[in-house]
Amino acid sequence: MSAGAPGNRLLASLSSRDRERLEADLEAVDLPLRRTLAQRHRRIEHVYFIDSGLASIVADGAQPIEVGVIGSEGMSSVGVLLGNDRSAQDIYMQVAGTGRRIRAEILTSADEQSLTLHRVLMRYVHALMTQLVHTAQSNGKSKIEERLARWLLLAHDRLEGDELPLTHGLLSIMLGTPRPGVTTALGHLTGEGLVETHRAKIKIVDRSGLEAKCRGIYEPPNGDT
């Protein structure tokens, strides 16, 4: 992998001086499907900046459910910036990609030494927290079709192209809903001409229609960085 200019928008938004603080310690890594970026209750060894692909923050239980999504706009394990050295949730890749990782203690040290770096990273923490709040509201109040439409938009924002490599099983975890419910909801979106389904892929056909379907629960990326 090339260690050239970052595809990660959070890193790209840093000043040249702050980027230099981190550059020598950023390790380019492949991020295959299901690659674990953090494990619940385990010590956080590395923080990952995603260049491509999609990671999920997943709360485990009788039915695992996604509570947040991370793409090229962000980073994993934001808790280390708040003084936490253990992960509260599982984070793993749901769409394979690439990224860069840095040891957690190195990042926190750099964050403490640079106010400008701290401000950029905290803006992302705020954006992620906002996303988590919207997800909680969506899970508690919205119909499955609306929640599915929102999640497809979140994925579309963070992946290249209109074809999303998503399966019914993956969507079941993302939405905390058994597969039959996902299949039914996806059938409704397909019937309305909003998406097309192919083998292990979902194609976004009418993005504005999906946004309308969300009934106000979708929040476009608002300067995650």
DSSP label at 192? T
pLDDT digit string (tens) for 80-91?
Answer: 999 999 998 999
Of the pLDDT bands very low, low, confident and very high (cuts 50, 70, 90), residue 224 is very low
Q: Does residue 17 surpass a pLDDT of 70?
A: yes
Residue 225 CA neighbour count, 13 Å, CB half: 16
For residue 171, report the phi and psi dihedrals to the nearest 5 degrees: -65, -30
Q: Compute the distance between CA of residue 147 and CA of residue 66 in angstroms, rounded to an integer.
A: 12
Q: Does residue 92 surpass a pLDDT of 60?
A: yes
**Scanning the structure block, which residue is given the tokens 């938009």?**
153
- Domain positions in the chain: 9-138, 143-213
Q: Which CA distances in Å does 197 have to 21, 100, 189?
A: 44, 32, 10
- Write down the pLDDT at residue 181: 87
Contact between 59 and 65 (Cβ < 8 Å): yes
- Write down the pLDDT at residue 54: 94
pLDDT digit string (tens) for 53-74?
Answer: 999 998 875 567 788 899 999 9
Over range 14-41, report the average pLDDT.
Answer: 95
Locate 218 and state its tokens: 């979708």
Of the pLDDT bands very low, low, confident and very high (cuts 50, 70, 90), residue 6 is low
pLDDT digit string (tens) for 103-142?
Answer: 999 999 999 999 999 999 999 999 999 888 888 877 777 8
143-213: CATH topology is: Arc Repressor Mutant, subunit A (1.10.10)
Evaluate whether the domain defined by 9-138 bears CATH number 1.10.3720.10.
Answer: no
Q: Compute the distance between CA of residue 102 and CA of residue 18 in angstroms, rounded to an integer.
A: 14
Q: Which residue has the higher pLDDT, 216 or 53?
A: 53
Q: Does residue 193 surpass a pLDDT of 90?
A: yes
pTM: 0.87
- Write down the pLDDT at residue 62: 58
